[in-house]
Structure 1
Amino acid sequence: MDKFSVTDLSVGTRGTLKEFKTSYQPEFLSKYGYKRYTNIIPLNGLKVVCETVNVKYSSIQGELVVHDNDVLTYLGHKFWAVTKNREHEDESNR
């Protein structure tokens, strides 16, 4: 991924969230369904609380919290497919 040669995000673009964040600016990704929620900390600036992407599975759509090692694939129309990294799952969910 080369952040200097793109003007749009192609359908099928795939990578980890960390790769997307190092290749593209958050403002650019926000045009494609990526969101980051922040909290202002006095004297420290902004702290990212969580990051999400828009997903659609069957008839259900909404936001899914994603982590740096989760693999994302852009599907178009601001929707993403997400393969979750299992290290973030609670043991009771396995």
Structure 2
Amino acid sequence: MTEVRLTAWARGRVQGVGFRWWTRARALELGLVGWARNTADGRVEVVAEGPEDSCVRLLELLRGGDTPGRVDGVVERWSEAKGGSTGFVER
């Protein structure tokens, strides 16, 4: 299975609503490592590494409408996994 890195930026009402905690829980369920953090412009940046199908599923969940708050859009970037992360943390 190909290991990949997904970097996704969620915009909408995603800060202060439990979005990073929810993202962490979904990522851990999928066996992914990485982090989620608030950005200064009001978005949440998510970096997840692991099997490509698990990263695709996380992206689907981020866009799925069952997240805390309100997601107006998600932009993603795909790259090779860098490794070195353990667990999934809120930053």
Q: TM exceeds 0.5?
A: no
Tell me which structure has the larger Cα radius of gyration.
1
* TM-score, length-scaled by structure 1: 0.26
User: Which has the bigger relative contact order, CA under 8 A and spacing at least 6?
Assistant: 2
